[in-house]
Structure 1
Amino acid sequence: MIFRAALLIFALATACSNAHRIEIDPGEKECFFEVLQPQDRMTVTYEVGGSIGGGRLDIDFFVLEPSNEVIHTHFKESTGSFSMEASRTGRYTYCFSNEMSTYARKVLSFNVHGVLFVGDEEKIAPVEREIRELSSSLQLVKDEQAYLVVRERVHRDTAESTNSRVKWWAIAQSIILFSLCAWNVHYLKSWFEVKRVL
C-alpha cells in the first residue's frame, strides 16, 4: 500500500515536469499555460542560453493568472525562477518576451514542474511526505544540471570563437612577419649590389 502511494506520488511529480528549448525572434513573445487547481504548485525556471545575431543574453518573463492579471514579472534577466501556489482553478499563463530586441533572436531553455495537490497534508503518511520532498529535491538537481549544460554550451561557444580569432590573428601576424622579412632582405640586398658602369 505504501509502495503504491509512493509510486503514485513520484509519477505525479515527474509527470508534471517538462523541459523545453525554444528560439524567440526579435520583437516576439512566446506564451505557455498550465491548468491548475487550488493548492497545486508550479515552478518555472529559465535561462537564456544564446543570442543569434548578437545582443545581450536577457529576456522578459511574466506570469498571468486566469483573470489575465499579471502576478509576476522579471525584466531583462538572463536567468530566473518563479514558484507559485494556485489560489483558484484556471489557466495560468507564463510568457517569455523578446519584444525589447530589434535584431537578436534568443535561445531559451526552461523547465516547468509542480506538485499536484492530492489531499489534506495532515492525512499524508510520513513516508509519502518524505517521498514528495525527495522528488522535489531530485527536480532541483535536474534543473541545476540543465542549467550547467546550458552554461557549458555558452562557454564552449565563447572559447571556440576566441580560438578562431587567435588563429586568424596568428596567421595575419605570420604573413606580416614574412612580408617584412622579404622586404628587408630585398632592401639590404639592393645596398650591396655592385652597379656596373659601362
Structure 2
Amino acid sequence: MAMGTAWMLAVVVALLLLGGAEAVWLDLPPTGTKCVSEEIQPNVVVLADYALMYESLPNAQPTVAVKVTSPYGNTVHHNENATTGQFAFTTSEAGNYLACFWLDSPEKASGTSLNLDWKIGIAAKDWDTVAKKEKIEGVELELRKLEAAVEAIHHNLLYLKAREAEMRTVSEKTNSRVAWFSILSLGVCIVVSVLQLWHLQGFFQKKKLI
C-alpha cells in the first residue's frame, strides 16, 4: 500500500513537472524589465508566443524587446521593436531558462502589458499536423498523446532520479568535509589549550607562584 502511494505521488510530481502550457500576463513598466523563468530539463521542446497589449493612443505605439537565455547565459532568442513574436527551441542544458521583456520604444506608454503563451514538452507539439501526416484521429490520436505523455513522464522520472543521486553525492561530500573540518578544529583547539597551559605553567614558575 505504501509503495503504491509513493508511486502515485511520484507520478503526480512528474505530471506537475512535465511539459505543459502556461499563459501569463506581464505588466510592463515604462522603464525596467519583467522576467519569467522556468526550470526545464535537456532535450525538451519549448514554444512561446507573445503579444503586446496597450491602450490605443495617437502618440503612443510602444514596442517590446525580448531576450531568452539558457541556464549558462547563452542567448536562445533575441528580438527588438516588436509588438508580437514567437520563439521556439530545444533545450540543451538543464536548469532555469529566463525570458525577459522590456519596452524599447520612445513611447513609454503606461498600462502596457504583454501576453505570453508558454508551452513546454508535449504541449508544444503540433498534434494537428501529426494527425494529418499519420492519418490518425479520435481514440488513436488520444492514445498517441497518452503514449507521448507516458514517455515524457518516464524521462522526467529518470531525470529526477539522476538529480537526486547528484544531490546525494554532493551532500555526502559536504558532510565528509564538515566532519574533517570539525576534527581539525577540535585538534587545533586541543593543541592551543596545551600550549596555553604550558606557557602559564612556565610563567607561574618564573614568578615563584607555584
TM-score by length of 2: 0.47
